[in-house]
Structure 1
């Protein structure tokens, strides 16, 4: 989160570009697997970015998925695509998230009505408290 607040517009643009590239590579790999063919698994694996490929290899080593075209297709559909969509959405939404976090999204004029009610309730509470103190004073006098 701190890097979200301190990111420059250039860094935000770069993150958006990287997220789009990652999503495009993932879609390309999924497309290769849908077309099938003799070397579809190898081509699709090479189409993934290095980080995604490393993550896939880790899943294969941990026996989460078989090292097959079907296993890779399942991995892309169930794990990688949702992550890529999420990263792309976050990168695209970063300026709005930053503005909201810094309070620029807060519309103070909408709080005016609440402020009036707060003032009204404060006055009412003060009157009630004063009345209770007077009643207590009357009760203690013989």
Structure 2
């Protein structure tokens, strides 16, 4: 499994916003884009998905921008990745809503894939934005 640019940039954006959460001032996409050396337009697209997922909130107006929708301790890397990637499943047959694999009952590797999926989910859901800010 490989995390796409969407997932990587969304995580960078959320860490950037989380690192400024104590200030209580909304972060504009332009500010985040400059600090992260990313495209404003691309971050705006990601922001929409993150707002829709309930991890980011948009503040309109002259002093507007984005704030975390919940405390950084309550938002996980998994929340961010699922908002942009859709799934962190290592194989297609384990993705939510995937069509049942015709070999599922005979698959000799399915238990391995399920274990890997649980390990990935456990890890990404066990690391909060607050943890990521501290790691940086």
TM range (shorter): 0.3 to 0.5
Greater strand share, structure number? 2
TM-score by length of structure 2 reads 0.36
Larger radius of gyration: 1
Q: Which is helix-richer, 1 or 2?
A: 1
TM-score by length of 1: 0.35
